[in-house]
Every structure is written in C-alpha cells, then in structure tokens.
C-alpha cells in the first residue's frame, strides 16, 4: 500500500465525491453522496448549501478514515466543483443567507436582457470572454443581495461573502480562515477580467456587486490554507483548485494548444486548449481560463450544453420510466433505430451556440408505438447532436480537430460514445480513469507539492482505455443532423 496519497473533493451538480489517489494517479478509494435538487419555479434551480457541505464533509471523512486505516499520509487536498453556482454567506457565522443558485438557473434572464439594452455587451465579452447570460454568477449574486431582506446593506458593510462552491468549501474546510477561489472559477462570474486576471471595477458596478463580497483569486496550484482537523479529521494543505470542466481538461492532459475534451455529466462541456492566446469566438463559444500556473494563464474555448446526463436523470426521477441510468444502453440497443423520435432537452433554455434562456424542451415524432426505449434513445441522441453543434462552432472558429477525449458519468454508456464518434465523424478516446475532474485537481496538488516536475510529467500519466472509430455513412449522418436542426429551430424563442 502507498504511504503518501492525494485526496480530491469533486463537488458536482448532482453528487459530492471524495477520492483518494496514489502518487501514480490510481484511484484507491471513492465515496459518493447524491443530494436533492430544488426546483422552486419554472427555470429556477437551487441547492441547499448545507446539503452540499454535509455530503462533501461526509465523503471526505470516509476518505480520511480510509487513509488512516491504511496509515497513509495526505500530501494535499484538491477541490473541483460545479462552476458558476453562487452562494452568499455571513462571514461571522459561515451560514448562507439563501440557497445556492445553481448554474442552470434562469431567473435572471430578464435582468440580462435589461442590462444588454443599456451596455455594450462586446465590451463585456472582450473583458470576460463570456456573454451576458443568467448562467454566470454576477446576476445571481445581485439577485440574492436584492431579494434577501437587508442583504445589500450587510454586503456593503463587509458582513457577507460571495463564493462559487470551491470558495464556500475552502471557507468551511479551513474553519473560516480563508476566503479564496482560483482563476478558472473566477473566470465564470462575468465580473472577472481574464486578461488582467483581476475583478473588474466597471463590471462590478454594472452588475451591482460590491467588491467587499469577493474572494482572493489564486493560481490553480497554490496554497489555499490547511483543513481544520476538528472538522475534517485531518490537518492537510489544500493545494489544488479548479472548476470541474477545467479540472477534467487537466485530468485528460489537454495541455497543448488544439487538444480538446468533452465531459458528460449533468451538462456537457467541450474545452479546447488555445494556449497563451485568448481566442475570441465568432460562433458564440466562450473564451475562458483553462488553468493558471505560476501566474501564467493558459486559455481555452468552451462550448457549454446545459442538459446531458440531466435528461437521463429526468427520465429516471421525473418520468420514472427507468430505474437506473445504466439501463439506458440496453433499452437503446433494443431498437433498430430512432424511428423518427427526437428530443430537444431545453429544460433550462439552450446554451452554446444558441444562448436562448427562454427556449423550452420538446419531444417530436411520437406515434402510437413510441415506448420508453424511444424516449431514452432520443435523450441520449440529443446529447450527441448538441456536441456536434459545438464542434461545428469550434470548426468555424478555425479549430481543426483530429480526435476527442471524453469522460464523465454518461460515457459509461458505450453506445453513446460510439454514436458520438459516428455523428461527429471523429475518433474518440476514453481514458482509463473517467473520474478526470478529481484526477485533474489531484495532478494540481501533485504539481504544487513537487510530486510532478511539470505538465509533461502529468501527460505521461494519461492512459487510453479504448478508442471508438466512426462508422456511419455520410448520408445517414447528414439526414439525422438535418432533422435535429429542424426541431431545434422549433423550440427557439425567436
């Protein structure tokens, strides 16, 4: 048994996980807890921050108990998290003043439209790499400050702190000693200038966010303070932090310009490393921070889809037509084809490249013999077609992709990955470790504590499990995509 280990916390949209990695990047232990999703109104999505905390802490304690049982020394802790999700808490008590407003939440769509009418959004995009959309944190922070009684006054008096989930966890794990985030999470707020790497005064005033609530922004591999043993069971340094999609790109060793990965969890996020060049998209993709190491920023182009595995989760928990996500593969294989049934899962609007918060989902092509297998197939196919749209947007921004690395819970579904290769007409690689988000921050911890010399040393740890080669004829591919595009047009709000 190894005597030194790295502990990674992966706080995702639907579950919290803690993993223990060996220095060689093998998973030695995993604990996972799902927690409830809260849907108070159409387009609203919230989490109870205490449920985020309790599920994280409980899985972390299990991981710490595992390391103790095996007499392992924890070199450091890494944190990766669902991005943009916004929490505001009281600096004295550490108690959130409102539920976490989740990245999928669209309640600030009208605010975004109003701001778009009075501000040149090109300036916003030039500074932040983002677009004006409820997805990002800024309008969520302002919503909390304006809707919780007395909050704005308390924020201005310095009594409240804002953080994405990483910041909130760092605050709690260090017993309130550290209020910090990393450059990748900061780059998802709409108030962070990705060129100067600082909070932007003009944008703070546009979004009405007081500077007093903001965390310090650190490198992804950095010193984020020590965990409090009384809370976590261990005194260990937090040494690596990154938003989950960027962490996945690190875990997939996408370190050279042109390398690309796609992660299929609740949503789907394609990240293309663009090196030191911050490419501004002509096709409504986001420019974002891939990682910042030793003060040096590497940029990425990102395509974000809001509903991927969430569509399967809806079939399981909402419609209850399946019991487990893993049933989906056999159900799909029971059909000879999609038989004309298509789903556009715009449950919370559509992300890239449409950015339409008012679009809503629909299912097309139902007949009397449509069954649950068709629903499942249409849901899985929709994720593939949306990826195809993102890669199309990347191609129009000049990207020349030769292969794609995939990961995330949904890629356990082999049928889905093969269909992806077919529709994208691109070879796909699946790594040995699909827990790439947790692995990515474990790599960051390893960099910070000197276990890995540099990114090349990390690249050598990446191993391919299997490869998927396209096998669909051009006519069929084109006809499926044409049908899909026709249905997308029907759900767009304008």
Ligand X SMILES: O=P(O)(O)OC[C@H](O)CO
440 makes contact with ligand ADP (CB under 6 A): no
Q: Which is nearer to ligand X, 12 or 349 (CB)?
A: 12
Residues in the chain: 494
Q: Which of ligand ADP, ligand X, none lies near 197, with the C-beta cut-off 5 to 8 A by kind? A: none
Comparing CA positions, the residue from 36, 37, 46, 49 lying closest to residue 107 is 46
Can you read off the two tokens belonging to residue 250? 């690190």
Give Cβ neighbours of residue 325 (< 8 Å, ≥ 6 apart). 309, 312, 313, 316, 409, 410
84 makes contact with ligand X (CB under 6 A): yes
Measured from the CB of residue 244, what is the shortest distance to ligand ADP in angstroms? 7
Span interacting with ligand X, options 108-116, 119-127, 243-251, 350-358, rule CB under 6 A: 243-251
Can you read off the two tokens belonging to residue 32? 């996972």
Query: Rounded to a whole number, what is the distance in angstroms from the first to the last CA of the chain?
Result: 59
Measured from the CB of residue 86, what is the shortest distance to ligand ADP in angstroms? 17
Q: Which of ligand X, ligand ADP, none lies near 312, with the C-beta cut-off 5 to 8 A by kind? A: ligand ADP
Comparing CA positions, the residue from 252, 106, 276, 246 lying closest to residue 184 is 246
The three-class DSSP label of residue 223 is coil
Comparing CA positions, the residue from 172, 178, 209, 173 lying closest to residue 93 is 172
The three-class DSSP label of residue 313 is helix
Residue nearest to ligand ADP according to CB distances in the complex:
409
Measured from the CB of residue 15, what is the shortest distance to ligand ADP in angstroms? 5
244 makes contact with ligand X (CB under 6 A): yes
Which residues sit opposite 301 in a β-bridge? 272, 287
Q: How many residues bind ligand X (CB under 6 A)?
A: 12
Measured from the CB of residue 425, what is the shortest distance to ligand X in angstroms? 26
345 makes contact with ligand ADP (CB under 6 A): no
Give Cβ neighbours of residue 54 (< 8 Å, ≥ 6 apart). 35
Provide φ and ψ at 314, rounded to 5°: -65, -40
Can you read off the two tokens belonging to residue 239? 């040494």
Bridge pairing between strands 268-275 and 238-243: unpaired
**Binding residues among 7-36 for ligand ADP as defined by CB under 6 A:** 12-15
* The only residue of 329, 356, 397, 483 in contact with ligand ADP, by rule CB under 6 A: 329
> Following DSSP, what letter does each residue of 89-132 receive, concatenated?
EETTT--BSSPEEPTT--TTHHHHHHHHHHS-HHHHHHHHS--S
Q: Which is nearer to ligand X, 210 or 408 (CB)?
A: 408
* The only residue of 67, 72, 86, 266 in contact with ligand ADP, by rule CB under 6 A: 266
Angle between helices 474-491 and 414-424 (to 10 degrees): 100
Span interacting with ligand X, options 175-183, 264-272, 428-436, 483-491, rule CB under 6 A: 264-272
Provide φ and ψ at 89, rounded to 5°: -135, 165
Span interacting with ligand X, options 82-90, 200-208, 368-376, 377-385, rule CB under 6 A: 82-90
Which residues sit opposite 275 in a β-bridge? 299
> Following DSSP, what letter does each residue of 330-397 receive, concatenated?
HHHHTSSS-TT-EEE--BTBB-TTT-BTT---EEE---TT--HHHHHHHHHHHHHHHHHHHHHHHHHT
* The only residue of 55, 80, 108, 413 in contact with ligand ADP, by rule CB under 6 A: 413
* The only residue of 8, 13, 262, 448 in contact with ligand X, by rule CB under 6 A: 13
Span interacting with ligand X, options 80-88, 346-354, 391-399, 479-487, rule CB under 6 A: 80-88
Q: Which is nearer to ligand X, 100 or 160 (CB)?
A: 100
210 makes contact with ligand X (CB under 6 A): no
Q: Which is nearer to ligand X, 82 or 382 (CB)?
A: 82
Whether 409 contacts 267, CB under 8 Å? no
* The only residue of 226, 410, 439, 445 in contact with ligand ADP, by rule CB under 6 A: 410
Span interacting with ligand X, options 117-125, 259-267, 345-353, 361-369, rule CB under 6 A: 259-267
Say what the alpha-carbon torsion angle 369, 373, 379, 384 is, to the nearest 10 degrees. Answer: -110
Site string for ligand ADP, 289-328 (x = CB under 6 A): --------------------xx-xx-----------xx-x
Q: Which is nearer to ligand X, 225 or 267 (CB)?
A: 267
Span interacting with ligand X, options 63-71, 232-240, 265-273, 452-460, rule CB under 6 A: 265-273
Residues that bind ligand ADP (CB under 6 A): 12-15, 265-266, 309-310, 312-313, 325-326, 328-329, 408-410, 412-413
Residues that bind ligand X (CB under 6 A): 12-13, 82-84, 103, 243-245, 265-267
């Amino acid at each position: 048994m190894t005597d030194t280990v790295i502990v990674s916390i992966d706080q995702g949209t639907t579950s919290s996980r803690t993993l223990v990695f060996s220095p060689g990047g093998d998973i030695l232990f995993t604990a996972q807890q799902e927690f409830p999703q809260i849907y108070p109104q159409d387009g609203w999505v919230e989490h109870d921050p205490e449920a985020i905390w309790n599920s994280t802490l409980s899985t972390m304690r299990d991981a710490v108990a595992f390391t103790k049982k095996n007499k392992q020394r924890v070199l450091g802790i890494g944190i990766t998290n669902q991005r943009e999700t916004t929490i505001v808490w009281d600096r004295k008590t550490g108690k959130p003043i409102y539920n976490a407003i989740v990245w999928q939440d669209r309640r600030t769509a009208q605010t975004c439209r109003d701001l778009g009418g009075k501000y040149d959004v090109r300036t916003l995009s030039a500074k932040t790499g983002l677009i004006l959309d409820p997805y990002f944190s800024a309008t969520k922070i302002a919503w909390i400050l304006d809707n919780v009684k007395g909050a704005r006054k308390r924020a201005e008096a310095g009594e409240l702190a804002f953080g994405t989930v990483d910041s909130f966890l760092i605050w709690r794990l260090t017993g309130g000693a550290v209020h910090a985030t990393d450059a990748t999470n900061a780059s998802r707020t709409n108030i962070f200038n990705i060129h100067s790497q600082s909070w932007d005064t003009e944008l703070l005033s546009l979004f009405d966010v007081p500077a007093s609530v903001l965390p310090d922004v650190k490198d992804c591999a950095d010193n984020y303070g020590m965990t409090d043993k009384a809370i976590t069971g261990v005194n260990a340094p937090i040494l690596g932090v990154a938003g989950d999609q960027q962490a996945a790109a690190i875990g997939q060793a996408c370190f050279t310009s042109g390398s690309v990965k796609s992660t299929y969890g609740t949503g789907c996020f394609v990240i293309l490393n663009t090196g030191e060049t911050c490419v501004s998209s002509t096709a409504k993709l986001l420019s974002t921070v891939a990682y910042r190491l030793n003060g040096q920023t590497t940029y990425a182009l990102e395509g974000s889809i809001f509903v991927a595995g969430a569509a399967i989760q809806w079939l399981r928990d909402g419609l209850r037509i399946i019991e487990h996500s893993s049933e989906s593969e056999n159900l799909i294989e029971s059909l000879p084809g999609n038989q004309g049934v298509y789903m556009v899962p715009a449950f919370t609007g559509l992300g890239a490249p449409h950015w339409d918060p008012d679009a809503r989902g629909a299912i097309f092509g139902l007949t009397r013999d449509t069954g649950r297998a068709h629903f499942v197939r249409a849901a899985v196919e929709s994720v593939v077609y949306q990826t195809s749209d993102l890669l199309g947007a990347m191609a129009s921004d000049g990207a020349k992709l030769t292969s794609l690395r995939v990961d995330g819970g949904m890629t356990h579904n082999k049928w889905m990955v093969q269909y992806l290769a077919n529709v994208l007409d691109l070879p796909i690689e699946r790594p040995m470790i699909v827990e790439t988000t947790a692995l990515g921050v474990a790599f960051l911890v390893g960099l910070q504590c000197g276990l890995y010399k540099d990114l090349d040393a990390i690249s050598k740890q990446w191993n391919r499990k299997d490869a998927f080669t396209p096998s669909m004829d051009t006519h069929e591919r084109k006809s499926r995509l044409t049908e899909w595009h026709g249905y997308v047009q029907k759900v767009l709000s304008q």
